[in-house]
Structure 1
């Protein structure tokens, strides 16, 4: 199996060489490293070009004329990869030397379209802070039941981008990555709907935490989540949020359907997610009567929407029920 590495960079001069060295040190031979730099203003590209000049048959380097953002940059990079499988790489991590070998083995053995693994969280100076799957709030499902994995993905993303290896057959679904999606979340959902996922419960990467990185580990506690919800719940932006969530999931299903429809069972999971988010938007709509808003919450609970599509069913249903009253008060005050 020929493996391409999709490496996206932006002002990563401090750690890019360690990342590349760990790619070169893999026990499984890499076929190509495709680099897309998003208009860095530091020495990132010059450091990459040193490796490209040393290994001209291995590196393919592109630079964007202007900054296009993480999602578009990864879409461009993936499009140029020619391998049988594609590994996603950030610019500031360090790969375990057996990372790709272990992932290729799992991808072949499990007959899925995407595998991912746990990682070790480290500081900028590589001081270890524990593993990612134990640190993040949301539990990472490890069983092979694909329906369970898809349902879990509708609640939250548990697939870390820099740990992904996926089959090249997914490329046809990734010509573009919608702006409302994070690239790794989108890839994970597409893979779950079309070919399946497999989790490797081993730490095969040092995941560096520092101030400059685009996305860190989600360590936000429950109190912080409630505080943010309180700030946003008494305005139409909460209604808009759930409407956008409904459209977001419908859009990914439509994008896949245009190429190759998933199984009816998988379709149904996403369609029910869309309906659930649309119903929740009514709870925050001041133009809907309070009785209807309360009925919507009760109906969503009875239909097991909260249980199926939220990570804390009781908390979310109580918040929505409470919001049913607060929206009325807020509307009257206005």
Structure 2
């Protein structure tokens, strides 16, 4: 089994050297490192090329002719990988030396697993640990494991990537696309062990309630994220759910993932149910607060928030503007 690392870069001179050096310290060396650069104007390319002269494994550096954006840039990097397993990497984190060993064992032990996601320590720009991991933060907020989605912690079989690509145009995240499909098809495996340090700094491309460096719980998240009008976001989520559903059906028809018809049909039913509940929730929060209170209570009792945060989501819907 060959393992490739797919990294994307863009003006990464500040941190990329540390990440590259952590690859060389792996107890299980990668079979190749593929880096696609999205038009860096700093010394990123020079750093990578200097590293390639010392690396004990092949390093492929590809400079895009035009800026693709981070989602399509990752798709490009993954498409150039030759390994059986592709481990995604950001340019600014630092891996634990056991990461490739642990991830490789997961895929070897579980032939049905198509995607592995590991935990990570959340750190500041100087890699000082904030005192919690990504999964710990999610659980502190009362969120399930499915909320934890990080491309930098994600590894996939190349055969799975081939089936679920190309990524939809204008989709917000390659990591979300890969992880959500794996979750819905029941082929994602979680590694509880933190296998890297995740650097939070002002140049990060994404920030979510789970990746927020603050260690607070539900009330912290409610104050920062939870009281705005979410109808537009829910409508987008409905669009994305329909994209997942269409791709799952196509994968089941043309792919060979050893996923049973029952799993596929249950995934489709699950997604369609989520769409229905989101559409009802959008109508619900559009009503006046007085009548909304009683209707939210009824919706909650009927299980309308079972794919969200239960009573916490109900409370937010009661007090939204």
TM-score under structure 2 length normalisation:
0.83
Matches within 5 A, 1:253-268: 253-260=245-252, 263-268=264-269
One of 204, 213, 228 as aligned partner of 1:232: 228
- SS of the aligned residue for 1:87 comes to strand
| Residue 216 of structure 2 corresponds to residue 218 of structure 1 | no
Q: CA deviation at 1:82?
A: 1.6
- SS of the aligned residue for 1:35 comes to strand
> Partners in 1 of 2:286 and 2:130 — Cα distance?
43
> Partners in 2 of 1:169 and 1:300 — Cα distance?
41
Is the CA contact (8 Å cut-off) linking 1:75 and 1:177 kept in structure 2? no
- SS of the aligned residue for 1:62 comes to strand
One of 237, 242, 247 as aligned partner of 1:245: 237
Q: CA deviation at 1:87?
A: 0.2
Q: CA deviation at 1:128?
A: 2.8
- SS of the aligned residue for 2:205 comes to coil
Q: CA deviation at 1:289?
A: 12
Deviates further, 128-137 or 69-78: 128-137
> Partners in 2 of 1:26 and 1:55 — Cα distance?
12
| Residue 197 of structure 2 corresponds to residue 206 of structure 1 | yes
> Partners in 2 of 1:239 and 1:8 — Cα distance?
33
TM-score under structure 1 length normalisation:
0.80
| Residue 184 of structure 2 corresponds to residue 185 of structure 1 | no
> Partners in 2 of 1:11 and 1:20 — Cα distance?
15
2:2 corresponding residue in structure 1? 2
1:59 corresponding residue in structure 2? 59
2:314 corresponding residue in structure 1? 317
Deviates further, 164-173 or 83-92: 164-173
Q: CA deviation at 1:25?
A: 2.0
Q: CA deviation at 1:55?
A: 5.1
1:298-331 per-residue CA deviation (whole Å, 9 max, x = no partner) reads 553233131x2112x21321332445xx5xxxxx
One of 123, 128, 149 as aligned partner of 1:159: 149
> Partners in 2 of 1:75 and 1:86 — Cα distance?
11
1:23 corresponding residue in structure 2? 23
Q: CA deviation at 1:34?
A: 0.9
Unaligned runs of 5+ in 1: 142-148, 327-334
1:137-191 per-residue CA deviation (whole Å, 9 max, x = no partner) reads 44699xxxxxxx9x853xxx31322122211121120322553432222211112
> Partners in 2 of 1:296 and 1:138 — Cα distance?
28
> Partners in 1 of 2:54 and 2:129 — Cα distance?
32
Matched pairs, number: 305
Q: CA deviation at 1:269?
A: 1.8
> Partners in 2 of 1:299 and 1:170 — Cα distance?
41
1:144 corresponding residue in structure 2? none
Q: CA deviation at 1:285?
A: 3.9
| Residue 108 of structure 2 corresponds to residue 108 of structure 1 | yes
Matches within 5 A, 1:59-138: 59-111=59-111, 112-133=113-134, 135-138=136-139
